[in-house]
């Protein structure tokens, strides 16, 4: 077991449970500001390094050899991160997860690129798969990503047909409000996915795609934050 004492501004309750194989390494600049629950069990790791701030009532849970590496990033209020069974979360420098958002990994790997911002009430779930979000993505509110169906599906011959394909986004991708990306989604750099659109295929770079299923409406576009 190896975990550093907290320092910086921690105003209220933090309940921390770690077992003997866990590593929780928290940089001294972390500001937990009220009620954070950190659980790390069975060889799990949680790293929160420089400039990380976990705001009110967030919880981070790592179990069964899972890892979270949240470096120079920010998780806002009432967000919930739960990683179980050999899962991994990496939030690269200056990425942001806004309030009321959730991330879940079950034998999954989620990488969130540097400067990517995920607006509130978004949900990212990864079951037996991986999600690679590129740099400088902008997710609007209520975005959903679901890699891996999460439950077993069999065809009429009894073959397992559960989707496990990963989800990818390039750099500088904008997902409109309520967009949903399923397994097999691969959104090219510079593209926009329209509000409430459902993607499960490849979207080329610098395109606008929208609808259910999302179709390319325009190509050769660019957008600014
Ligand atoms: C997709 C979007 C960028 C518009 O792109 P566009 O290329 O200018 O599209 P247009 O407005 O010319 O519409 C083209 C067609 O796509 C349809 N369409 C546009 N947006 C759509 C959407 N989100 N879902 C389904 N269909 C959509 C239009 O109805 C139109 O259909 P038609 O040809 O049958 O009339 C815009 O509609 C959108 O969804 N913006 C995201 C807004 C958002 O979430 N903002 C968050 C702020 S933080």
Would you say the pTM of this structure is higher than 0.75? Answer: yes
Whole-number Å distance, alpha carbon 6 to ligand 1 midpoint, is: 47
Whole-number Å distance, alpha carbon 195 to ligand 1 midpoint, is: 7
Residue 206 — φ and ψ, nearest 5°? 50, 40
- pLDDT tens-digit series, residues 102-153: 999 999 999 999 999 999 999 999 999 999 999 999 999 999 999 999 999 9
Q: What is the mean pLDDT of residues 157-161?
A: 97
E strand or H helix at 193:
strand 192-193
Topology of 92-225 in CATH?
A: UDP N-Acetylglucosamine Acyltransferase; domain 1 (2.160.10)
Q: What is the DSSP string of 13-51?
A: -EEEEE-TT-EEEE-TT----S-EEEEEESS-EEEE-TT
Is 218's C-beta closer than 6 angstroms to any atom of ligand 1? yes
Q: How far apart are CA 72 and CA 169, in angstroms?
A: 21
Q: What is the mean pLDDT of residues 178-203?
A: 98
Is 140's C-beta closer than 6 angstroms to any atom of ligand 1? yes
**Closest atom of ligand 1 relative to the 140 alpha carbon:** 48
Domain ranges, ordered by start, for the chain: 1-65, 92-225
Two structure tokens written together for 41 = 């069990």
Residue 54 pLDDT exceeds 70: no
The Cα-based distances of 162 to 126, 151, 155, 200 in angstroms read 13, 7, 9, 14
Three-state secondary-structure class, residue 61: strand
Please choose, from the candidates 104, 97, 105, the residue with its C-alpha nearest in 3D space to the C-alpha of residue 121: 97
Return mean pLDDT, the chain: 86
Pairing type for strands 144-147 and 123-127 reads parallel
Is 196's C-beta closer than 6 angstroms to any atom of ligand 1? yes
DSSP count for the chain of H helices, then E strands = 0, 28
pLDDT category of residue 67 using cuts at 50, 70 and 90: confident
Is 138's C-beta closer than 6 angstroms to any atom of ligand 1? no
Cis-peptide into 146, omega within 30 deg = no
pLDDT category of residue 55 using cuts at 50, 70 and 90: low
Q: How far apart are CA 79 and CA 22, in angstroms?
A: 22
Q: How far apart are CA 102 and CA 43, in angstroms?
A: 23
* Most ligand 1 atoms within 8 A of CB, residue of 195, 214, 215, 221 to mutate: 195
Two structure tokens written together for 53 = 């701030």
**Closest atom of ligand 1 relative to the 141 alpha carbon:** 48
Q: How far apart are CA 81 and CA 171, in angstroms?
A: 24
Please report the pLDDT score of residue 75 as a whole number. Answer: 80
Please choose, from the candidates 44, 88, 84, the residue with its C-alpha nearest in 3D space to the C-alpha of residue 65: 44
Is 221's C-beta closer than 6 angstroms to any atom of ligand 1? no
């Amino acid at each position: 077991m190896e975990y550093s004492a907290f320092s910086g501004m921690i105003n209220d309750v933090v309940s921390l449970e770690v077992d003997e194989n866990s590593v929780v390494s928290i940089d001294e600049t972390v500001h937990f500001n009220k009620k954070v629950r950190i659980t790390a069990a069975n060889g799990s790791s949680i790293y929160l390094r420089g400039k990380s701030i976990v705001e009110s009532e967030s919880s981070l849970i790592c179990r069964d050899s899972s890892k979270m590496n949240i470096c120079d990033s920010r998780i806002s209020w009432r967000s919930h991160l739960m990683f179980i069974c050999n899962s991994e979360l990496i939030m690269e420098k200056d990425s942001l997860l806004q309030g009321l958002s959730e991330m879940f990994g079950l034998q999954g790997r989620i990488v969130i690129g540097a400067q990517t911002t995920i607006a509130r009430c978004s949900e990212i779930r990864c079951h037996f798969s991986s999600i690679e979000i590129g740099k400088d993505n902008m997710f609007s509110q209520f975005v959903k990503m679901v890699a891996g169906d999460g439950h077993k599906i069999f065809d009429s011959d009894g073959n397992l047909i559960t989707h496990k394909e990963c989800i990818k986004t390039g750099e500088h991708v904008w997902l409109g409000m309520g967009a949903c990306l399923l397994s097999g989604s691969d959104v090219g750099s510079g593209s926009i996915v329209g509000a409430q659109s459902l993607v499960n295929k490849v979207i080329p770079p610098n395109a606008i795609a929208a609808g259910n299923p999302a179709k390319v409406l325009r190509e050769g576009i660019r957008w600014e934050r």
